[in-house]
Chain A
Amino acid sequence: MRIALFATCIVDAMYPETAKSTVKILERLGHEVVFPKAQACCGQMHINSGYMPEALPVVENHINAFDTDDYDVAVAPSGSCVASVKHQHPILAERLGKPELKERAIAVGKRTYELSQLLVDVLGITNAAEQLGSYFPDTITYHPSCHGMRSLKLGDRQLDLLKTVGGITVEELPEADQCCGFGGTFSIKNADVSSAMLEDKMKNICSTGASACAGGDASCLMHIGGGLSRTGAKPKTLHLADILASTMEETVTL
């Protein structure tokens, strides 16, 4: 398959390794990865902050970049960006009175997958060690980000993939389904509540004794990781893609 990578702005700029990991995994499976260079961002930050007219150029740019015949499916290593593409883009187009854009948004959304969705539902991956050669000899816990869990209904796809990585130990995270408190600009507009939510998330992560908390959204991980770093706690954060890309020969270190 020809798979278009939607890196997402935060991964592109801040966590390029995660995008490289995504490419590695897909190439390992024999697929061709393309990177539509016109892409920038899904516009979720603007939409969720209420800046709809300002979101429009960002959303239009995304749709223009991905509304092509140059690929079979698109994938992003982020549940919330994919949820934005699938659900928010059509609504924004409707709100701003752009029916044609709405149709195109729906079409792009249909072809866009979150990484674990693509791996499990489309590419039939059930065992990361066997099918992807994934190997990560350490103890992790896992935070399911809200948009993946609730908007995309990912269920246990990410966790199941992690559990089948070679050498890994996965400790269950207490109150895993609770939001980490990121919420985009919520984290600065309502910084106190956001921090209170983060505090509980960190407490739960630390209680597992894991070396790292894994997840499928770089933004939530930046939030959790930023808090852990500030408090001097031991656990690090690591993206699902980076763990799946890690192999016996080239093992990712924390």
Chain B
Amino acid sequence: MTQVFLGMPAPGHGNLFEEEPFPQAAHRELGNTQMRKNLRHATHTIRDKRLKVVGELPDWEQLRDAGAAIKNNAMANLEELLLQFEKNFIARGGIVHWARDASEANKIVTQLVKDTGSTEVVKVKSMATQEIGLNEHLETEGISAFETDLAELIVQLGHDKPSHILVPAIHKNRTQVRDIFLQEMPEVDPNLTDDPSKLADAARTHLRKKFLAAKVAISGANFALADTGTLGVVESEGNGRMCLTLPETLITVMGIEKVLPQWEDLEVFMQLLPRSSTGERMNPYTSLWTGASADDGPRNVHIVLLDNGRTRALSDRFGRTALNCIRCSACMNVCPVYERTGGHAYGSTYPGPIGAILSPLMTGIEAEDNGSLPYASSLCGACYDACPVKINIPEILVHLRGEDVDTKRETHKIPTQMDLLMKGGSWALGKGKNIGLLEKALPLGRLMAGKDKKIKKLPGIAAGWTQSRDIPAPPNKSFRDWWSDQKESK
């Protein structure tokens, strides 16, 4: 094989794109008052739960450091770890497939399903298969995929899109869930109430039939352990466990960044993940499987190792720690922007703060409207504080804003208002003398203010400010001038 250096690794495809500028999407979602109410309630509840269980661990900060260190190390040795994992996975009877991008992964999975002769598959909740749009692809190939995670099921039955990585139906409340069930589950009791236990019962009856009939299951994975060739899924409902054990064939689609060096590393992540994601000390079901066995569980075990823009993200030295993400969703639960816009505003499978960095890192900042995602943050830093693997999301957001501006510099022939403002600002704020000169005009600014000493309307992009905020009339004299007068004349 000849090796050709092709420059930047290939970008990711699939559901990684913001299709309209974020402010526009946000504007629409902000108008959805029911969604905002549901989301506020849900995020605030989970925040409190997380804080409580995190507070129980005196070594939480050290655990976060350990999580970050293990991940940084894994990313630095990704190639060796993946090869080691492949060797061990094969040695235990598994079959390994490598997919460069979404369409390769979809093709591989489709062929594997077709080879079994089955036209139905059950699915364990998985972000990677959302990312590549697997269900939709299978459908075009005549294969029906049934989501078995309760929230994914709600989203699938409601012909909707997930809006959260852990709680995909977080934007729905229980009355809305009941309505979806009544409409989409033919066998359901027409007197179904919105009592959560009744809703769970209905879903259980609906799903049980699928589990028992399915010959093929498709899953994602939370971890892959290089030293043993083991895969792991962490979940709450046990539906994943059913999928992982009952069918004959199990196909796992996993991003290459999920590999960890060794079994012992689970000690750290099994403490970090449940506390950060659902606010529980321990999640109810942790399934670990190593290869295939003739008389227990699936006989055919496959893994599709997916790149889809991950090596691209890895090649960005200021952004690569985004790959350390363990998809706990703590960052979106604490994010004041996500809380108000919901997940759909971000376009991509990955919403919230992590999505705002991961999507453009995987696709390239110039793809579709992904350049607008890094600005979807006030940089308040709540995400960084919550992240169990200490990804400095605000710093990466700022870095990607820089990439966005630099990219557009090359394409914009005519400077935008923002470009001009920043250019002017660079001069004005680049010397004490210059700002001093401008401050001489402060009394002029006072003329713009009305009798009530408020400026209520500004032109151009600054109108965004005065849409909801006044500006006080500026003072007569800057501090700088006051200082000169008072202190230096003495």
Interface residues in chain A, defined as those with a beta carbon under 8 Å from any beta carbon in chain B:
7, 9, 11-17, 19-20, 35-41, 43, 45-52, 54-55, 57-58, 60-61, 65, 87-88, 91, 95, 146-147, 150-151, 177-179, 181-199, 222-223, 225-227, 229-230
**Could you tell me the distance between the alpha carbons of A104 and B48 in the complex, rounded to whole angstroms?**
42
Establish whether residues B474 and A46, one from each chain, have CB atoms under 8 Å apart when the complex forms.
Answer: no
Shortest distance from the beta carbon of B154 to any chain A beta carbon, whole Å: 26
Q: Which of B52-60, B212-220, B247-255, B375-383 contacts A (4 or more CB under 8 A)?
A: B375-383
Shortest distance from the beta carbon of A245 to any chain B beta carbon, whole Å: 14
Given the complex, which residues of A lie within 8 Å of B439, measured CB to CB?
A: 12-13
Shortest distance from the beta carbon of B479 to any chain A beta carbon, whole Å: 4
B477's contact among A16, A151, A181, A185, by CB below 8 Å, is which?
A: A16
Most chain-B Cβ atoms within 10 A of its Cβ — which of A151, A191, A198? A191
Shortest distance from the beta carbon of B461 to any chain A beta carbon, whole Å: 6
Establish whether residues B482 and A20, one from each chain, have CB atoms under 8 Å apart when the complex forms.
Answer: yes
Establish whether residues A46 and B425, one from each chain, have CB atoms under 8 Å apart when the complex forms.
Answer: yes
Most chain-B Cβ atoms within 10 A of its Cβ — which of A51, A147, A179? A51
Instruction: List 24 A–B pairs whose Cβ atoms lie within 8 Å, in order of A's numbering.
Output: A14-B475, A15-B475, A20-B482, A40-B432, A46-B426, A50-B403, A50-B406, A51-B426, A55-B426, A57-B427, A65-B432, A146-B378, A179-B336, A183-B379, A184-B379, A186-B379, A189-B464, A192-B27, A197-B336, A197-B378, A226-B465, A226-B468, A226-B470, A227-B469
Establish whether residues A9 and B429, one from each chain, have CB atoms under 8 Å apart when the complex forms.
Answer: yes
Establish whether residues B318 and A16, one from each chain, have CB atoms under 8 Å apart when the complex forms.
Answer: no
Establish whether residues B487 and A52, one from each chain, have CB atoms under 8 Å apart when the complex forms.
Answer: no
A229's contact among B337, B454, B467, by CB below 8 Å, is which?
A: B454
Shortest distance from the beta carbon of A64 to any chain B beta carbon, whole Å: 10
Most chain-B Cβ atoms within 10 A of its Cβ — which of A13, A95, A146, A197? A13
Tally of chain B residues near chain A (CB < 8 A): 70
B467's contact among A65, A195, A223, by CB below 8 Å, is which?
A: A195
Establish whether residues B402 and A50, one from each chain, have CB atoms under 8 Å apart when the complex forms.
Answer: yes
Establish whether residues A49 and B378, one from each chain, have CB atoms under 8 Å apart when the complex forms.
Answer: no
A39's contact among B425, B432, B461, by CB below 8 Å, is which?
A: B432
A226's contact among B30, B382, B464, B471, by CB below 8 Å, is which?
A: B471
Establish whether residues B465 and A58, one from each chain, have CB atoms under 8 Å apart when the complex forms.
Answer: no
Given the complex, which residues of A lie within 8 Å of B107, measured CB to CB?
A: none
Establish whether residues A198 and B469, one from each chain, have CB atoms under 8 Å apart when the complex forms.
Answer: yes
Chain B residue nearest to A196 (CB atoms) is B340
**Could you tell me the distance between the alpha carbons of A45 and B474 in the complex, rounded to whole angstroms?**
19
Establish whether residues B405 and A49, one from each chain, have CB atoms under 8 Å apart when the complex forms.
Answer: yes
**Could you tell me the distance between the alpha carbons of A37 and B478 in the complex, rounded to whole angstroms?**
13
Shortest distance from the beta carbon of A63 to any chain B beta carbon, whole Å: 12
**Could you tell me the distance between the alpha carbons of A87 and B468 in the complex, rounded to whole angstroms?**
31
Establish whether residues B379 and A185, one from each chain, have CB atoms under 8 Å apart when the complex forms.
Answer: no
In the complex with contacts A9-B435, A12-B435, A52-B402, A43-B429 CB distance below 8 A: yes
Shortest distance from the beta carbon of A54 to any chain B beta carbon, whole Å: 4
B405-428 contacts to A (CB < 8 Å) = 405-406, 418, 422-423, 425-428
Most chain-A Cβ atoms within 10 A of its Cβ — which of B395, B401, B436, B474? B401
Most chain-B Cβ atoms within 10 A of its Cβ — which of A38, A177, A187? A187
B349-384 contacts to A (CB < 8 Å) = 374-382, 384
In the complex with contacts A95-B402, A230-B469, A12-B380 CB distance below 8 A: no
Establish whether residues A183 and B380, one from each chain, have CB atoms under 8 Å apart when the complex forms.
Answer: yes
A51's contact among B23, B405, B427, B435, by CB below 8 Å, is which?
A: B405
A182's contact among B340, B378, B423, B470, by CB below 8 Å, is which?
A: B378
Establish whether residues A49 and B422, one from each chain, have CB atoms under 8 Å apart when the complex forms.
Answer: yes
B418's contact among A49, A194, A225, by CB below 8 Å, is which?
A: A49
4 A-B pairs besides A61-B431, A186-B375 with CB distance below 8 A are A12-B479, A12-B480, A146-B378, A230-B470
**Could you tell me the distance between the alpha carbons of A189 and B384 in the complex, rounded to whole angstroms?**
22
Closest 5 pairs between A and B when the two form their complex, measured CB to CB: A183-B378, A50-B401, A226-B469, A188-B464, A179-B380
Establish whether residues B431 and A40, one from each chain, have CB atoms under 8 Å apart when the complex forms.
Answer: yes
In the complex with contacts A192-B26, A196-B340, A150-B380 CB distance below 8 A: yes
B330-355 contacts to A (CB < 8 Å) = 336-337, 340-341
B442 within 8 A of A: yes
Given the complex, which residues of A lie within 8 Å of B427, measured CB to CB?
A: 57
Given the complex, which residues of B lie within 8 Å of A95, measured CB to CB?
A: 318, 399, 402
Establish whether residues A48 and B398, one from each chain, have CB atoms under 8 Å apart when the complex forms.
Answer: yes
Establish whether residues B468 and A227, one from each chain, have CB atoms under 8 Å apart when the complex forms.
Answer: yes
**Could you tell me the distance between the alpha carbons of A16 and B485 in the complex, rounded to whole angstroms?**
13
In the complex with contacts A48-B398, A198-B468, A192-B378 CB distance below 8 A: no
**Could you tell me the distance between the alpha carbons of A11 and B435 in the complex, rounded to whole angstroms?**
12
Chain B residue nearest to A147 (CB atoms) is B381
B430 within 8 A of A: yes
Given the complex, which residues of A lie within 8 Å of B376, measured CB to CB?
A: 190, 193
Chain A residue nearest to B36 (CB atoms) is A196
